[in-house]
Amino acid sequence: MRISMVMAMDRNKLVGDRGVMPWKIPSDLKYFKQLTMGKPLIMGRVTFESLGGVLPGRPHIVITRNPDWMHKGVEVVHCLDDGIDAARRYDTDEMMVIGGADICAQAMPHTERLYLTVIDHEFAGDRWLESFSWEDWTEVSRQETDESADGGYRFTYYVLEAAAR
């Protein structure tokens, strides 16, 4: 089963701001839904809290160090490897690591495909995808939008595959 990651970042690799996304781009959320539907999601506890609840149609695997943390409809694990093992139990071709920056830093070396939305703008925030470097990836496809598309921002959907490591 392929290990994939889905993230959106700005020009400076910013991904988060005080526990939430720094922007609201409805078409990117729709794209996220299309990509992830039916597939197991692996995420950090902070990212789960930012979702506001369980997203329908996708098993949720949440990583936390807190042995007492639980949430209805969520499988809790205490390290990334256990999250990946849990995702492998589902009968799908792909598992989706969906953030945040902390979990992505740990998952990046294992990630085979990266669905990366790059927003051509500089936002304010406090979490960056520092673990991402363009030179580690080969471009499979890109789809560019213009300012009129959504939210007043220009952005590009990249599909990237890990370069030989």
Chain contacts with ligand NAP (rule: CB under 6 A):
7-9, 15-17, 19-21, 43-47, 50, 63-66, 69, 78-80, 98-103, 106, 127
For ligand NAP, the closer CB: 128 or 164: 128
* Residue 55 CB contacts under 8 Å (≥ 6 apart), including other chains: 33, 36, 41
The nearest distance, CB 58 to ligand NAP, in angstroms, is: 14
For ligand NAP, the closer CB: 16 or 40: 16
Closest to 61 measured CA to CA, from 86, 81, 31, 37: 86
**Using CA atoms, how far apart are residues 74 and 77, in angstroms rounded to an integer?**
10
Hunting for tokens 């299309």 — which residue is that?
34
For ligand NAP, the closer CB: 105 or 162: 105
The nearest distance, CB 62 to ligand NAP, in angstroms, is: 8
The nearest distance, CB 146 to ligand NAP, in angstroms, is: 21
Q: Is 52 left (phi over 0), alpha (psi -120 to 50) or beta?
A: left
Q: Which helix (H) or strand (E) holds 20?
A: none
For ligand NAP, the closer CB: 112 or 126: 126
